[in-house]
A = this chain, B = another copy of it.
Amino acid sequence: MSTIVVQKFGGTSVGSVERIQHVASRVISEVENGNKVVVVVSAMGKTTDELLTLANAINPHPSKRDMDMLLTTGEQITISLLAMALQVRGHEAVSLTGWQAGIRTEPVHGNARITNIETDLLKSYLDAGKIVIVAGFQGITANNEITTLGRGGSDTTAVALAAALKAEKCDIYTDVTGVFTTDPRYVKGARKLAAIAYDEMLELANLGAGVLHPRAVEFAKNYGVQLVVRSSMEEEEGTIIEEEVSMEKNLVVRGIAFEDQITRITVCGLPNELHTLSTIFTTLAQHSLNVDIIIQTSMDKDTTNISFSVKTVDVKETIEVLEQHQGRLGFTGIEQESGLAKVSIVGSGMVSNPGVAAEMFQVLATEGIHVKMVSTSEIKVSTVVDVAEMVRAVEALHVAFKLGEESVERVLS
């Protein structure tokens, strides 16, 4: 019995007639491997921007319902064109919108979560030997309202379909060849990983690796869907994302993530009370302001300072919100330091290896790089450094943790 494979192609991969024809080739070779194939596609490269431009010209604050109505046409165009591209090459293909594919979501516009997938129709098409092409990023509510899944929506569609159909794997085709130990645009020694664990990928994704949306990774983790990130243009093995990368367990650090445009904000002279921390961050969360690393330092028994890092783009609004609530929060002043960057090492091997954070600090100290903030989790250590030292920090850590040495991964696997 043939197995089911889900393939997902993003906006760049389907950005032109030629690209769509290339995607058709990719789909066909999976079919010729004897698999039943479900293809999930995004809107063609520029389509979404063009639709947004139209909407903006008409209404600067369009309703989310109508934005969903508008934007979902993008994937509907792609599914029909890909079906045509497969048909002209003699393959039977059926295009399905999100609602036709039975993708049910909660009743939220712009950022709905998938509640379930009715797979009967999908299965009957697959059993009939047809290639099924599903519009990513979209679903339908119980009241037949068209919804979208928000950022990373097509990835989520693909993973959810793979889970619902018990697919053997879910291949995410993208414009990179896989997941790297760190960003190869900055670090020459950066190396593509053969495999990575869900949690590691989550930490890397959240830290700006940008290959795959965290939501899709989490979904895959929860349902045990094996993901492969690979290039839509180049014939190369990608990176497998799965639960246990046991053969590499001893590779303590799997990758290094980094991002610039970080600012540290310090709220000074807060009352040293039980609810101070929760009050301040609840207030920020209510304004959809995300903070990252948080450090509390008590000045004396009555007052405390709280520092946290935010994206520089959010600094202005963050300070405005804090000042609006100064009376209630009771702080005496706000300080900020911009021009910072975050550098993080990620690896599930850290759990059983308590010296990793210390080794990281040692490497940075040897390089003369001053660490301004630290945050640790079971599989990640993040540091905030001056942006001028970001790349140097990454390079030093990449060498120190032997990430550039392919032999390490090979030997361990």
Contacts and interface: CB of A to CB of B under 8 A. Distances in A.
Interface stretch (A71-79, A248-256, A322-330, A392-400): A71-79
Contacts of A60: 88
A265 interface: no
Contacts of A144: 100
Interface stretch (A62-70, A234-242, A337-345): A62-70
A55 B84 CA distance: 7
A57 B97 contact: no
Contacts of A63: 83-84, 87
Q: Interface residues of A: mostly helix, strand, loop or mixed?
A: helix
A220 to B, nearest CB: 29
A59 interface: yes
Copies of this chain? 2
A80 B59 contact: no
B77 A70 contact: yes
Interface in A14-59: 17, 20-21, 51, 54-55, 57-59
Interface in A80-95: 80-81, 83-85, 87-88, 95
A62 B58 CA distance: 34
A59 B82 CA distance: 10
Interface of A: 17, 20-21, 51, 54-55, 57-63, 65-67, 69-70, 72-73, 76-77, 79-81, 83-85, 87-88, 95, 97, 100, 144, 146
